[in-house]
Structure 1
Amino acid sequence: MAPEVIERQTLEASDLAFYLENYSSSYDYGENESDSCCVSCPQDFSLNFDRAFLPALYSLLFLLGLLGNGIVATVLLSQRAVLSSTDTFLLHLAVADILLVLTLPLWAVAAAVQWVFGSILCKVAGALFNINFYSGALLLACISFDRYLNIVHATQLYRRGPPTRVTLTCVVVWGLCLIFALPDFIFLSAQYDERLNATYCQHNFRLVGRRALQGLQLVAGFLLPLLVMAYCYARILAVLLVSRGQRRLRAMRLVVVVVVAYALCWTPYHLVVLVDTLMDLGALARNCGRESRVDIAKSITSGMGYMHCCLNPLLYAFVGVKFRERMWMLLMRLGCSNQRRLQQQPSSSRKDSSWSETTEASYSGL
């Protein structure tokens, strides 16, 4: 028997009551007590950090994400008759981001006080997080694969195929995301924690179930799509550099920047989750100081992941020339600018894609 267990068994009743009153479980998804082998560490510091940090961050991301992705979706829908395959994927990505940011006010209130919205909204909000996470990765992988076939193998999968092919691809992506989010619909619920005297939205399965879910997120929602993107763009860049296709290389920059931004936003979160998993498996020593730092790191890096849904619209605005042109055209159509501005628009803005492809070649024209 482990020394920690022996020591806990020799505690007097008053000492045990003190621990139960002032310390909470180190696992935040409602695992059974049998999953923990020893008295838990205090979480006062990490909880206070969440109360101070997360509500402000989520409120800011809600405003920026809703405004930015709303503009992206509006600009794309205004050109829906001539959307390219990449434009269609980016439209679906904007929709997924909008669905995610709509849940941020709920998480802000939960971080500041507790979860007060019941189990149904708990399931929906938790599932939307994972749907956005998986859809973002899979849609970017689809864009990468389409660019790869187009440039490396000169195969235009969507442009020369049936018009519904890109739509069917998006339907498959959303279907997979819903399947991956099924554990949230089934196991998430609003649960009252007597030790913390508060209600939290958390999974009601054991530790092994939580680790299986995190493993699915890591492999299916991050590593595999990232490997697909890395391989596709490495091959694409190699072909363009050899052929000295500088114009086409410049035309790839938005999609490449979007992929890099995705990797930068989500990699820290998965590294922290990996450290937490290794501590649970015993590969890394668990102590209260390290556990507190991991909890805080989870809050910060998950915020970075949420930030990704606000970052894409900024990338489109600052990197995508065609997006800016299409946005100005939409504003002028709505009467927000004058005719002189319309006459100043370059002729390239009248091509068949919002910002991602040109009429001469199916490359991301920016």
Structure 2
Amino acid sequence: MTILVTGGAGFIGGNFVLDWLASQNETIVNLDALTYAGNLETLQSLRQDARHVFVHGDIGDSERISALLREHRPRAIVNFAAESHVDRSIHGPGDFIHTNIVGTFNLLECAREYWNGLEGGEREAFRFLHVSTDEVYGSLSAEDPPFAETNRYEPNSPYSASKAASDHLVRAWHHTYGLPVLTTNCSNNYGPYHFPEKLIPLVILNALAGRPLPIYGDGQQVRDWLYVKDHCSAIRRVLDAGRPGETYNVGGWNEKANLDVVRTICAILDELRPRDDGKAYQEQIRFVDDRPGHDRRYAIDARKLERELGWRPAETFDSGIRKTVEWYLSNSKWIAHVSDGSYRDWLNKQYG
């Protein structure tokens, strides 16, 4: 048995591949374009594992995908491949349109052709699982209930608009062509192997380097924080038992303001890696101009996933964020290799 994973060298995809092969004896064909956030060092432990077949390629390459499907005959496709950083989408939306919309279309068409050629039990068992985000739902006020699967889409950034479009394509390919799809919309992920442009790894690494800890606006933007390995377990559960055509929201039940997240990280670093001068890491916090169209609050109602499939996250925010900080303290080599010159140039452009 085999599954095809796209974007499996990125943050969530890489964690999924590692966790899958740690608990399953089923081959993964891993297709990744290795853009700035894709990193094969994340998968270093699998170099000699015959169950991991890595292919350098893009989901927009229909010939490559069709050839992989014919050769490996996977029972499922799990699509993590996406441009996913809001700030980058504001500076350059074209890449997000190309990958998240056109790429998903290409992948769906290849999957549809492949699925139509299957027969009997193989056709019945095939699944296309599309990994998406809570940002497609827009922004919540402090009094609003969390996003449910029935919330209408109101994306506010080029990134979330491109992901919303891809979700609509996945839904349409199910209702028009019968393709057995599943969609998951997750809240903010954090954990090991996170590319250090996102808030949590950025704060950890800047703190250790003595650099400012940039926080947009007043720091009161609220997110529901989901430990990445909990997200991976939810995807495995949806792939195993989800109903074709359904959407499942995946959340951590951990709403935190960005400023509180940063202060928590600082407190853990004060304990585990205190500053040489004895001062608190919180002194490095700096507020910067808010980004355009910054959504105020996201929150996920994950009760459907719990009610229908019995899934809940294993980590609290306190346990997950401590594991995350400890991982970054123990993996300086991985960090150094992803924090190359182009990444530092981007940070200077974004935060000055």
Question: Which TM-score applies when normalising by structure 1?
Answer: 0.21
| Greater helix proportion | 1
Question: Which TM-score applies when normalising by structure 2?
Answer: 0.21
| Greater strand proportion | 2
